[in-house]
């Protein structure tokens, strides 16, 4: 790519970033963190430290979104977090039993 094409691409990216809402990015982040966290609770790729980090990140970010997104989004993420906490407790219990 030549310099003017690079500059044009950077300008386009900057314009796109101006359209992104922080609340949308946080919702996407929570979705990604929950998916990764659940993945680390599975028997194949179990990593309880990473799963705990995902749970703590969810617990920290959800309250930040209150008032910025619909209440059902908050409720759903709170439910996902509760489910992850239960799955984490189960995984810890399985790990200590082994």
pLDDT tens-place values along the chain, 98 residues long: 567 888 999 999 899 888 999 999 999 999 999 999 999 998 888 999 999 999 999 999 999 999 999 999 999 999 999 999 999 999 999 888 76
Assess if residue 38 is contained within a domain: yes
Assess if residue 92 is contained within a domain: yes
Assess if residue 14 is contained within a domain: no
Assess if residue 3 is contained within a domain: no
- How many domains does the chain contain in total? 1
**Residue given tokens 């239960």 in the structure block:** 86
What's the pLDDT at 86? 97
Q: Give the chain as a 3 state SS string.
A: CCHHHHHHHHHHHHHHHHHCCHHHHHHHHHHHHHHHHHHHHCCCCCCHHHHHHHHHHHHHHHHHHECCECHHHHHHHHHHHHHHHHHHHHHHHHHHHC
Range of the domain at 68: 22-97
End-to-end CA distance of the chain: 55
């Amino acid at each position: 790519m030549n310099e003017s094409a690079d500059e044009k691409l950077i300008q386009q990216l900057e314009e796109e970033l101006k359209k992104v809402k922080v609340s949308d990015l946080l919702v996407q982040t929570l979705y990604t963190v929950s998916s990764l966290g659940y993945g680390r609770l599975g028997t194949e790729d179990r990593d309880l430290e990473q799963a705990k980090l995902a749970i703590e990140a969810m617990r920290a970010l959800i309250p930040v979104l209150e008032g910025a997104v619909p209440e059902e989004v908050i409720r759903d993420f709170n439910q996902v977090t509760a489910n992850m906490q239960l799955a984490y407790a189960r995984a810890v219990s399985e790990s200590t039993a082994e």
